[in-house]
Chain A
Amino acid sequence: MAESLHAWPFFGSGVLLFVLGLHALVTRPHLLIKVLAFNVMGSGTFMVLLSAAARGSGEPDPVPQALVITGIVVAVSATAVALALMLRLYPILGGAGLPPGPPED
Chain B
Amino acid sequence: MEGMSDGLTWAAWLLIVPLAGALLAGVWPRAGRWIALATSVLVALLALGAAAQVWTQGPQVVSLGGWVPPLGIGLRLDGLAAFMLLVAALVGLFVGGYSLGYIPRDGHGERFWALWLWLWAALNALFLSGDVFNLYVTLELVVLASTALVALSGGAAALLAAMRYLMVGLLGSMAYLMGVALLYTQHGVLDLGLLAQRGGEGTAMMLAATLMSVGLMAKAALFPLHVWLPPAHGSAPAPASALLSALVVKGAFYILLRLWLTVFQDLAHPGVMQLLGGMGMLAVFWGGFMSLSADRLKPLVAYSTVAQVGYLFLAFPFLLAGPGGWHAAVFLVAAHATAKACLFMAAGNLQEANGGDDRLASVAEVMRARPLTSFALGIAGASLVGLPFTVGFVAKWILLQTAITSGAAFWAVGVVAGGLLTGAYVFRLLGPAFRPGPGRSGRPVPVLREGVTLALALVCVLLGFAGSAGLRLIAATPVAGPGG
Contact = CB atoms under 8 A, between A and B. Distances in A.
A–B direct contact (CB < 8 Å): yes
Interface of A: 1-2, 11, 14, 18, 21-22, 25-26, 31, 34, 38, 41-42, 44-45, 48-49, 51-52, 55, 61, 63-64, 67, 70-71, 74, 77-78, 81-82, 85-86, 88-89, 92-93, 98-99, 101-105
B78 interface: no
A42 B306 CA distance: 29
Contacts of A63: 70, 184, 190
A7 to B, nearest CB: 9
Given A14-B181, A48-B178, A98-B164, 19 more contacts: A1-B204, A11-B185, A21-B174, A22-B171, A25-B171, A34-B167, A38-B170, A41-B171, A42-B177, A48-B181, A52-B184, A52-B188, A63-B70, A63-B190, A67-B190, A70-B137, A78-B170, A82-B163, A102-B161
B86 interface: no
B296 A105 contact: yes
B162 interface: yes
Contacts of B151: 85, 88
Interface stretch (B31-39, B98-106, B193-201, B224-232): B224-232
Contacts of A22: 171, 174
B185 A102 contact: no
A1 B143 contact: no
A85 B166 CA distance: 9
7 contacts: A25-B171, A48-B185, A49-B184, A63-B190, A78-B144, A85-B151, A105-B299
B173 to A, nearest CB: 8
B293 to A, nearest CB: 10
B163 A31 contact: yes
Q: Sort chain B's interface into a size bin.
A: 35 or more
Majority SS of interface residues in chain A? helix
Nearest to A56: B188
A12 to B, nearest CB: 13
Nearest to B302: A105
B133 A67 contact: yes
A78 B188 CA distance: 27
A45 B167 contact: no
Given A49-B184, A105-B230, A38 B171 contact: yes
B147 interface: yes
A86 B70 CA distance: 40
Contacts of B279: none
Given A38-B170, A82-B170, A88-B151, A104 B184 contact: no
Contacts of B178: 18, 44-45, 48
A80 to B, nearest CB: 9
Contacts of B185: 1-2, 11, 48, 51-52, 55
A101 B160 CA distance: 11
Nearest to B166: A82
Contacts of A102: 161, 164, 227-228, 230-231
B289 to A, nearest CB: 11
B209 to A, nearest CB: 16
Closest 10 pairs (CB-CB, A-B): A52-B185, A48-B181, A49-B181, A92-B156, A41-B174, A74-B140, A45-B178, A52-B184, A45-B177, A38-B170
Interface in B177-232: 177-178, 180-182, 184-186, 188, 190, 204, 227-228, 230-231
B290 interface: yes
Given A78-B143, A85-B166, A88-B151, A103 B159 contact: no
Nearest to B71: A63
Given A31-B163, A85-B159, A104 B174 contact: no
A103 B299 CA distance: 11
A50 to B, nearest CB: 9
Contacts of A71: 136, 177
A42 B181 CA distance: 11
B296 to A, nearest CB: 7
B227 A89 contact: no
B148 interface: yes
A55 B144 contact: no
B174 to A, nearest CB: 5
Contacts of A103: 231
A93 B231 CA distance: 17
A92 B476 CA distance: 51
A102 B450 CA distance: 32
A85 B140 contact: no
B185 to A, nearest CB: 4
Interface string B274-310: 0000000000000000100010100100000000000
A23 to B, nearest CB: 12
A45 B182 CA distance: 9
A81 B181 contact: no
Given A85-B151, A104-B230, A52 B143 contact: no
B142 to A, nearest CB: 12
A90 to B, nearest CB: 10
A45 B181 CA distance: 7
A93 B296 CA distance: 24
Nearest to B167: A34
Contacts of B294: 105
Residue among B171, B177, B228 with the most chain A CB within 10 A? B177
